[in-house]
Structure 1
Amino acid sequence: MFTKPVTGRTTAAAEGEVVVLLIGMRINRFWAVHHWGPVLLAMPRMLRELRKDRSRGLLGHVLLTASPRTYYVVQYWESKEKLYAYAHAPDMFHHRAWAVVNRKERAGKARGHVGLWHESYVVPEGSYEAIYADMPAFGLAAAHGQVPVEKRGRRAQDRFAYRSPTADAD
């Protein structure tokens, strides 16, 4: 799918805090496809599930490859509460997939074939900024919207200093 770039410089239209989840896997033993294959296939299934129900709070994501062994997803969420709610919802696929991982570990069947990791960040307003030059909406801008850079400041320092109108009301 080709997305047409937006000409010129833009920035993310994010306001308030930004919630970012980095989640991924590392193949430790290539020959153990039966261990890492299901893990690799689980993430697209979770993303499809979240796309179908936007009320769960996932705003956007980017799939990335760090190496032939390591794959991860950068996810942008409405709030940490919605992220926690999805992770713990018994009716969602993540809950079932994580239960399988835990059962394998307890039974000693994981044996280091695949590594799993995640990092979660809640970034307060004034602690993030973004710039895109001749790019379609990507990353933070794809999750929160894209505006001309002039709306937030031409320099990174100005974009860091931006405060949303709702921040002034607090």
Structure 2
Amino acid sequence: MSTKPVLGRTTAAAEGDVVVLLIGMRVNHFWAVHQWVPVFLAMFRMLAELARDKDRGLLGRVLLTASPRTYYVVQYWESKEKLYAYATSPDMFHHRAWSIINRKERAGKVRGHVGLWHETYVVPEGSYEAIYADMPPFGLAAATGVLPVERRGRRAKERFAHRGQRSGA
């Protein structure tokens, strides 16, 4: 990802619906390093796995922290179908990681040392807009490309009204 700012106002080149996955973890007990470090490292392993295979559908991601305890990734996906396919594919690391967690839960070995969460949103075209001023590509624009804001409209109302080629407009 470029760190050089694109001068002026830009917008994301997203077309059609946008699939956004927020996924993360919360360290409930810092002293239980043996519990939360593997989860933290698994997050990076899954991102690396997805980066190696662009056909899986991950368009881009942003790593964030909400507090010293809570870490998450905002992910942009081509479609909810590709997201589901990755999440349930037996040959992908996500499937193996959840199998381990489920086994631990059944065995009563989960003690609440680390919390896991995710939220998934399918945002229909016409229900999102983005604007960046003097920013390097970030978020949705880093995932889908950058356009001069005028291509989608100077005002938010115009950008919300944009219909791309993927939607048949």
Which TM-score band (shorter chain)?
over 0.9
Residue 33, structure 1, aligned to residue 33, structure 2? yes
Count of aligned positions: 169
- 1:22-69 C-alpha deviation (Å, 9 max, x unpaired): 000000111111111100000111000000000000000000000000
In structure 1, what is the equivalent of residue 4 of structure 2? 4
In structure 1, what is the equivalent of residue 163 of structure 2? 163
Q: How far 1:106 moved relative to its partner?
A: 1.1
Q: What does 1:90-109 correspond to in 2, within 5 Å? A: 90-109=90-109
Residue 71, structure 1, aligned to residue 71, structure 2? yes
Which 5+ residue runs of structure 1 have no aligned equivalent?
Answer: none
C-alpha distance in 2, partners of 1:148/1:2?
17
Judge conservation of contact 1:35–1:110 (CA < 8 Å) in 2: no
Runs of 4+ in 1 over 6 A off after TM superposition: none
In structure 1, what is the equivalent of residue 62 of structure 2? 62
Alignment partner of 1:140: what SS?
Answer: helix
Alignment partner of 1:133: what SS?
Answer: strand
Q: Which amino acid aligns with 1:45?
A: R
Judge conservation of contact 1:22–1:72 (CA < 8 Å) in 2: yes
- 1:52-94 C-alpha deviation (Å, 9 max, x unpaired): 0000000000000000000000000000000000000111110
Q: How far 1:161 moved relative to its partner?
A: 0.8
C-alpha distance in 2, partners of 1:45/1:112?
22
Which 5+ residue runs of structure 2 have no aligned equivalent?
Answer: none
Taking only the aligned residue pairs, the percentage that are identical comes to 79
Q: How far 1:2 moved relative to its partner?
A: 6.3
Q: Which amino acid aligns with 2:76?
A: Y
Alignment partner of 1:76: what SS?
Answer: strand
In structure 2, what is the equivalent of residue 19 of structure 1? 19
- 1:145-166 C-alpha deviation (Å, 9 max, x unpaired): 1100000011111111111133
